[in-house]
């Protein structure tokens, strides 16, 4: 492929991860950043009906922890290359060959994880994504036990207007009958393939091995549960109408085998919404148009949020970047989200990268006063970038498990800023801080991203601050178009949730109330050709005069108005998910 030269001037090829009929996947190191990536090489000369552009076009829209992120696309006259996440783990086909078969409980746990990603794909808007190639070799298991789906080479968008697929293709034995020309593939197609895959995991016998049919699993081992046998039988029916009709339905059946109530399971597992949102029958925790006045309601909601926070695994770490155009409420959001996190026992650090304004000084007077007396704290951000492992002395401890690294107003050493305030140092710092904190919240307005494009892929989630008015929507998009390349805009689009800041319940658009749903719809409506993928809101932050008093009192609004503790708590849960 590349001989001994660097690919694209920065990727050193280390090994071949896998070969298929249409592509080769290489393990590569970005020599500038020291990060590992998978590079998928696809020949343009292959005699295939498959559109090689389908996989990147689908992956760039998606944002799910079980799916690889796509970082870049490169092509020349002969080949097409996709730069994507390297998954450090085990291919389940190779593990199957090594182990022979897997225990029932393990297989059920994997199946539940796979259902989760299928639910995401099948409910994708505007067109559901049909994976079409579920099989052991396309499933990876990370070292912490998480499932990842790879190879979207034959995935397709399901369109109601289509009668049949454009191309019929799949892996023999795992592919459903309709993949061979009997109709349009849909979500039940993926359910069939998943059923065959589970059968292979449990019995160690593939669909292309004798007896060349899917037999009841208890024919091979009477210790298998009858319930799981019925699940696999229903998944693998030849007639799609006899299968589970959705991944949600299959998920419920799998969870029932484990003896867990589906509602409790979803409540604990899905932090993006609370119990009321799952049932969709009760009103939301916070009325979007008016703050609550009933004290008992506030206490109940806060207690419920606390239970949700307690259910989160504190052994993990997340990097969340809060961004937006100037004046959109970025720093206020950062401060309040961090305080909510710390209040719920997350070890949290704020990284204030806005070295032009350094606004965290205004919100944390204790930090500001310390910078006037202590030159080391005055240079906190630079010192943390230089030696992140010494964060306990380079960063400032606001209170208990809440930390801040920023610059004081009196720091002006341009040489040190030029030396340490760059992408490579930020990436290195984040790598170290991930091992020390549950949550790293970055304050970085949109205009600063032009100098830190390389760090984007190291951020788990963006919270994009936008108000519910046309100026804010247009300013957000224009800021991105001015400072970022199109692929970076698309990446932020895929990894973001909106924070509807300074929400005005009287604001109108086209004579209708400018709701958070309308903001999400408008910002992806084509005003920017690179920011068109569906986006959701993490929540609204109603306007209140209390925000203006935060700086005067040096007290975040969540500590003075309990309603806002609910607001930011819900938003934080959705960003963490």
Residues that constitute the known binding site for ATP: 40
């409420």: which residue's tokens? Answer: 329
For residue 56, cis peptide bond before it (omega within 30 degrees of 0): no
Q: How far is CA 447 from the centre of its chain?
A: 23
* Type and span of the H or E element at 501: strand 496-503
The gap from C-alpha 566 to its chain's centroid, in whole angstroms, comes to 23
- The neighbouring-strand residues paired with 75 are 80
**Burial of 517 from C-beta contacts in 10 A (0-12 / 13-18 / 19+):** exposed
Contact in structure between 157 and 58 (CB atoms under 8 Å): yes
Residue 389 falls in which region: left (phi positive, over 0), alpha (psi -120 to 50) or beta: alpha
Asked if 534 and 126 touch (Cβ cutoff 8 Å), the reply is: yes
Region of residue 543 (phi > 0: left; psi between -120 and 50: alpha; otherwise: beta):
beta
CA nearest neighbour of 157 among 127, 186, 192: 127
Length of the chain as a residue count: 577
Residue ranges of E strands in 355-468: 396-399, 402-405, 439-443, 461-467
The residue among 2, 53, 50 whose CA lies nearest residue 22 is: 50
Q: Where are the beta strands (DSSP E) in 327-415?
A: 348-352, 396-399, 402-405
Phi-psi region of 531 (alpha: psi -120 to 50; beta: other; left: phi over 0): beta
Closest to 472 measured CA to CA, from 512, 519, 440: 519
Please give the biggest Cα pair distance in the chain. Answer: 79
DSSP 3-58: TTSPBTTTEEEEEEEEE-SSEEEEEEEETTTTEEEEEEEEETT---SS-TTHHHHH
Q: Which residues belong to the annotated binding site?
A: 40
Contact in structure between 437 and 395 (CB atoms under 8 Å): no
């Amino acid at each position: 492929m590349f001989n001994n030269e660097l690919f694209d001037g920065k990727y050193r090829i280390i090994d071949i991860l896998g070969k298929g009929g249409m592509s080769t996947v290489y393990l590569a190191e970005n020599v500038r950043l020291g990060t590992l990536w998978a590079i998928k090489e696809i020949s343009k000369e292959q005699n295939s009906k498959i559109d090689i552009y389908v996989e990147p076009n689908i992956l760039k829209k998606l944002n799910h922890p079980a799916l690889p992120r796509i970082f870049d696309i490169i092509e020349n006259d002969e080949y097409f290359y996709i730069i994507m996440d390297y998954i450090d783990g085990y291919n389940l086909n190779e593990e199957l060959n090594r182990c022979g078969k897997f225990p029932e409980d393990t297989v059920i746990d994997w199946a539940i994880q796979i259902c989760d990603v299928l639910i995401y794909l099948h409910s994708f808007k505007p067109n559901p994504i049909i994976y079409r190639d579920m099989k052991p070799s396309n499933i990876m298991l990370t070292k912490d036990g998480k499932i990842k789906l790879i190879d979207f080479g034959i995935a397709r968008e399901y369109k109601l207007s289509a009668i049949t697929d454009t191309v019929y293709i799949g892996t023999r034995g795992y592919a459903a009958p309709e993949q061979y020309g009997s109709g349009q593939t849909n979500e039940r197609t993926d359910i069939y393939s998943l059923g065959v895959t589970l059968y292979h995991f449990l019995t160690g016998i593939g669909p292309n091995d004798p007896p060349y049919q899917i037999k009841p699993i208890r024919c091979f081992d009477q210790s298998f549960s009858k319930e799981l046998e019925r699940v696999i039988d229903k998944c693998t029916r030849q007639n799609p109408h006899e299968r589970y009709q959705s991944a949600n339905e299959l998920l419920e059946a799998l969870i029932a085998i484990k003896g867990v109530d589906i509602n409790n399971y979803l409540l604990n597992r899905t932090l993006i919404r609370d119990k009321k949102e799952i049932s969709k029958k009760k009103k939301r925790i916070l009325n979007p148009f008016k703050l609550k006045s009933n004290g008992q309601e506030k206490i109940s909601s806060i207690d419920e949020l606390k239970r949700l926070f307690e259910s989160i695994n504190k052994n993990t770490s997340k990097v969340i970047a809060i961004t937006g155009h100037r004046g959109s409420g970025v720093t206020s959001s950062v401060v309040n989200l961090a305080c909510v996190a710390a209040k719920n026992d997350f070890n949290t650090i704020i990284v204030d990268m806005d070295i032009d304004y350094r606004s965290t000084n205004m919100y944390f007077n204790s930090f500001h006063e310390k910078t006037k007396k202590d030159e080391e704290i005055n240079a906190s951000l630079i010192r943390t970038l230089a030696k992140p492992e010494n964060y306990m002395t380079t960063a400032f401890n606001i209170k208990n498990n809440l930390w801040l690294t920023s610059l004081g107003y009196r720091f002006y050493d341009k040489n040190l800023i030029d030396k340490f305030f760059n992408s490579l140092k930020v990436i290195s710092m984040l790598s170290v801080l991930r091992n020390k904190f549950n949550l790293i919240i970055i304050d970085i307005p949109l205009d600063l991203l032009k100098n830190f494009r390389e760090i984007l892929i190291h951020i788990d989630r963006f919270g994009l601050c936008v108000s519910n008015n046309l100026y804010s929507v247009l300013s957000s998009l224009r800021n991105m178009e001015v400072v970022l390349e199109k692929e970076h805009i698309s990446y932020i689009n895929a990894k973001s949730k909106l924070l509807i800041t300074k929400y005005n319940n009287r604001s109108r658009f086209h004579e209708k109330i400018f709701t958070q749903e309308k903001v999400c719809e408008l910002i992806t409506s084509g005003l920017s050709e690179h920011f068109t993928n569906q986006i959701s809101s993490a929540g609204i932050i109603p306007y209140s005069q209390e925000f203006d008093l935060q700086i005067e009192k040096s007290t975040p609004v969540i500590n003075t108005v309990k309603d806002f503790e609910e607001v930011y708590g819900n938003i934080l849960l959705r960003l963490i998910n």
